[in-house]
Chains A and B, each alone.
Chain A
Amino acid sequence: MSAALPQDGGRGTQAGRAAWSADAPLIEHRSLASEIWRRFRQDRFAVAGLVVIVLLVAVAVLAPWIAPHDPTKQYDEGLTAQGMPVGPSSQFWLGTDTLGRDLFSRLLYGARVSLVVGVFANGFALLLGVIFGLVAGYFRGWVETLLMRATDVMMAFPIYLLAVALVAVLKPSIWILILVIGIVYWTPMTRVIHGEVLSIREKEFVDAARLTGCSDARILVRHILPHLVAVILVYTSLGLATTILFEATLSYIGLGVQPPTPSWGQMISEGQPYYLSAPHLVLYPGLAIMITVLAFNLVGDGLRDAFDPQQRRR
């Protein structure tokens, strides 16, 4: 006996009538984006992280207008008579660095470097990761073996050593840095995407699409890729945190942007010998990195929780 779908929307039964009574909560249609946003909003830490990121982007974009000084100008009055950096004053809000340059302005301009490198390097890693993961997971066979074993090899590589070697061979500059971080960082994304695709490709709508004559490319892009949005968004936010930290580390060892362009990692490296005599030189860039990375981590966690259908609402 076939169970016919109720024509009356379930109002025929007593439970159904209760559900459809006038004071039942209204179930409105929401798009995925607005649903995710609604759930994200409920996580206070995630929202705080988002606010910080928005501020950071604003500061980075508006740096030339809001910075009180030229970040590369070495001021005579920026050094004490003994040649040491000066502390906070009305002229230099956070003090100066070892060459008499305004620390606050350098922090603002350093934000640009961190964000540009973070966004582009992560974008590049994302592109590589998604392409490899999709292709490996969908086509299986030797393509999958080749790509995934290559990924395993890359993951086994000590990434810092590889980055150091690459940047040492090529001339250090912001674009080489982006290239290097992207190359070194595509592996986690590939694995995750590959895993997701493996499960998605078994779903019926993929078979249905194939039956209706869709090409592989169309299936990948039109049908499978949209289901990866959650994973991509989450891993990108977390990845941004890591790439920003990676950029700071490479700049710290001298392989990032070259002086006099400021970068937070480079500022810590320059200020390090002075940590006992002028601790503000390492404190402020260090705080900046910490807050930025924390913000991206919080947003990433918030997104992951928002996308998780089992997550209980608070």
Chain B
Amino acid sequence: MPAPLPSPRRRRLLPLLTLLVALVAGLAACGGSATSGGEETVPQQGGTLVMSYFTEPSSLDPAIAYNVIDWNVEHAISQGFFRYAAKPGEAGTRLEPCLATEVPSVENGGISPDGKVITIHLRRGVKFQPPVNREVTAADFKYSFERMLRAPLAPGTSFYMGVKGARAYYEGKADEVSGFEVVDPYTVRITLTSPDLSFLQALTMEFCDVIPKEWVAKWGKKVNRHPLGTGPFMFDHWTPGQEVVLVRNPNYWEEGKPYVDRLVYQLSYNPSTAFLKLQNGEVDVLGDGVPIADLARVKADPNWKDQVYSQNLIAISYVFMNVGMKPFDNLKVRQAVSWAIDRDKIVKLLGGEATPLWQVYPPGMPGHQEGKVYYGYDPQKARRLLAEAGYPHGFKTVYYTDNVDPNPRLAQSIQADLRAVGIDAEIKTVNNNTFYQLQSTPGKCPMGSFGWWMDFPDPVDWIIPLFSKSSAVPGGMNSSFWWHPKLEKMLAEAQSLTDPEARLAKFVEMQDFIMSQAPYATVYAPKQTTMCSKDTGGFYLHPVYQFDPANYWKK
């Protein structure tokens, strides 16, 4: 409250004061946007953004982490050569430079005409977050890449075996990856054994994010709980079961970003609780989406419907069948399960937030065959196949699922479908991280529900982690532990093709073969529907990253 001014000064200060008051009032009018209709296009600095998830990250070490929540948090902290454009829809699936100065291509000379040599120029003056504080150089990238190849249980190494010398290094036969060269402190040259149209995208996965050597030396294995990189937010603390808190990176190289000062990942609210908390103003973004029970209601509520955002996810949900455990080693049994599941019922149970999936590639993924249906819903056929396989009276088994709604409910629906054809499945519900461990350990889970979300929009992202020999190992994502020499050959052939059309055709052939072997019963492709709070600005859904907190602000 301004104190009454002594007279002599008054005449000079009064106009100044009026100006100040007018300015403040003007700014307040721009900044205030109480209703969801207000278009606030000027980002505000400051504030705390709270995102709610019901799962704990398993690790924040870029070399090892592969869960959706892990990558969501990592994306705010660590960076690599490139990233996806910060736009919704198809525009967000294009690469743009991040720590590199440009995306290499044949046109700009970054990729050699034979497609085997990639030269990347680094941005200068990018610093690691405190307390490391020094500039990032090409040697840091080489270190991070080689570390990832040799990290125990690293799930992503199979994407990079095309780099010359990578396999030798991975198997311990060489001291470095000869194909990953430091030409000078700001130039990296990568040589591939054969051209690979998806390699730049593979490089954009979090596995290749840069991490300083001295930081890893300081923390050793515990670096998975103390991440550090060059991203807009730096790690502050992680209270297990409660929250992960990130704060603004003072060294960040992009001017004006991030907008918010603190980014909090709330880990303890289940989707229903998070939804209530968002309406109360305690949570800003629902990481797990709007609960299905409340979806219809909130979309019709005039107070909240503008805060609801949707996108089709390039992702799949399926039932895996462990070919290492009886009776799923029998092809006819697996095919029977593929015929037994009522996918339309599942989509209905999801409130329409999904499309039934009859093939491996979901809509939006190159290689998806519009209208193609490999199996269907035919319990009679399923029973016949089971009888042919030697199980006329069905069999008993155990079905695993995680505990995040709606998975336990969908598991019950599938259990009923299986029972209708004679398969007596007992449901075991476990928490998320236990589930990830179990499904990647051979001999543990005979069958269960699993999901796969796109890392990058290329079918090789489906084939390698889910169907290849290199992922049918402990710690891998191939929960069926299925692979086939014929598929390995087809994959190698496809990867060596430089013509995108021919390459894609090969991937479609692979889908035909995989479906005939039925290691998974594909069920649905999910839609993501979530909400943000009324004072979150700049919110949009990203096709690859889902969320982009560096570009959100608090009004």
Hey, which bits of chain A sit against chain B, CB under 8 A? 72-74, 76, 79, 81-84, 98-99, 254, 258-260, 270, 272-274, 276-278
Contact = CB atoms under 8 A, between A and B. Distances in A.
Interface stretch (B165-173, B318-326, B412-420): B412-420
Nearest to B403: A254
15 contacts: A74-B345, A74-B413, A74-B416, A76-B345, A79-B348, A81-B348, A83-B292, A83-B352, A98-B349, A99-B409, A99-B413, A258-B426, A259-B412, A260-B416, A273-B293
B427 A258 contact: yes
B415 A260 contact: yes
A84 B408 CA distance: 16
B293 A278 contact: yes
Contacts of A272: 272
Contacts of B294: 273, 276-277
Contacts of A277: 293-294, 296-297
Contacts of B297: 276-277
B1 to A, nearest CB: 45
B500 interface: no
B431 to A, nearest CB: 10
Contacts of B427: 258-259
Contacts of B292: 83, 273
A260 B424 CA distance: 11
B426 A83 contact: no
A274 B345 contact: no
Nearest to B416: A74
Given A258-B426, A272-B272, A82 B416 contact: no
Given A82-B351, A99-B409, A259-B408, 4 more contacts: A83-B292, A83-B350, A258-B427, A273-B291
Contacts, number: 60
A270 B294 CA distance: 14
Nearest to B295: A82
Interface residues of B, number: 25
Interface string B282-297: 0000000001111011
Nearest to B411: A259
Contacts of B429: 254
Chain A CB count within 10 A is highest, among B292, B293, B412, for B293
Contacts of A260: 412, 415-416
A83 B427 CA distance: 22
A99 B405 CA distance: 13
Which 5 residue pairs across A and B have the least CB separation, nearest first? A273-B293, A274-B293, A83-B348, A273-B272, A83-B351
Contacts of A258: 426-427
Contacts of A99: 349, 409, 412-413, 416
B271 interface: yes
Contacts of B415: 259-260
A84 B345 contact: no
Chain B CB count within 10 A is highest, among A83, A98, A277, A278, for A83
A82 B293 CA distance: 10
Nearest to B405: A273
B271 A273 contact: yes
B349 A79 contact: yes
Given A273-B271, A277-B293, A72 B416 contact: yes
A227 B90 CA distance: 81
A98 B271 CA distance: 16
